[in-house]
Amino acid sequence: MNRREFVASSIALGAAALLPAQNAHPQGNGATFKLNYAPHFGMFKNHAGEDPIDELKFMADEGFRALEDNGMPGKSTDLQKKIAKQMAKTDMTMGVFVASADFENVNFASRKSDAMEPVLKQMHQAVEIAKRVNAKWCTVVPGLYDRGQEWDYQTARVIDNLKRCAEICEPSGLVMVLEPLNAWRDHPGLFLTKIPQAYQICKAVGSPSCKILNDLYHQQITEGNLIPNIDKAWDQTPYFQVGDNPGRKEPTTGEINYKNVFKHIHRKGFTGVVGMEHGNSKRGKEGERAVIDAYRSVDDF
**CA distance readout (Å), 240 to 37, 52, 263, 301:** 9, 23, 14, 18
Instruction: Report the alpha-carbon distance of residue 51 to residue 260 in Å, rounded.
Output: 35
| Residue 168 dihedral angles phi and psi, to the nearest 5° | -75, -40
Q: Pairing mode, if any, of strands 273-276 and 137-141?
A: unpaired
- pLDDT the model gives residue 3: 54
User: What percentage of residues in the chain have a pLDDT greater than 70?
Assistant: 90
Neighbours of 35 (CB within 10 A): 22
Report, as ranges of residue numbers, the positions in the chain whose pLDDT lies below 50.
Answer: 6-8, 11-27
The pTM of this model reads 0.90
For domain 3-13+27-298, the question of CATH label 3.40.50.2300 is answered with: no
| Residue 211 dihedral angles phi and psi, to the nearest 5° | -135, -170
- pLDDT the model gives residue 256: 98
- pLDDT the model gives residue 30: 73
| Residue 33 dihedral angles phi and psi, to the nearest 5° | -90, 165
**What b/e readout covers 175-194, taking b as 16+ CB neighbours within 10 angstroms?**
bbbbbbbbbeebbeebbbbb
Reduced to 3 states (helix: H, G, I; strand: E, B; else coil), residue 179 is coil
- Where do the structural domains in the chain lie, given as residue ranges? 3-13+27-298
- pLDDT the model gives residue 21: 38
Question: What count of Cα atoms within 13 Å lies in the side-chain half-sphere of residue 68?
Answer: 29
Task: Collect all residues with Cβ–Cβ distance below 8 Å to 89 and sequence separation of at least 6.
Answer: none
Where residue 30 falls (left for φ over 0; alpha for ψ -120 to 50; beta otherwise) is: left
- pLDDT the model gives residue 5: 53
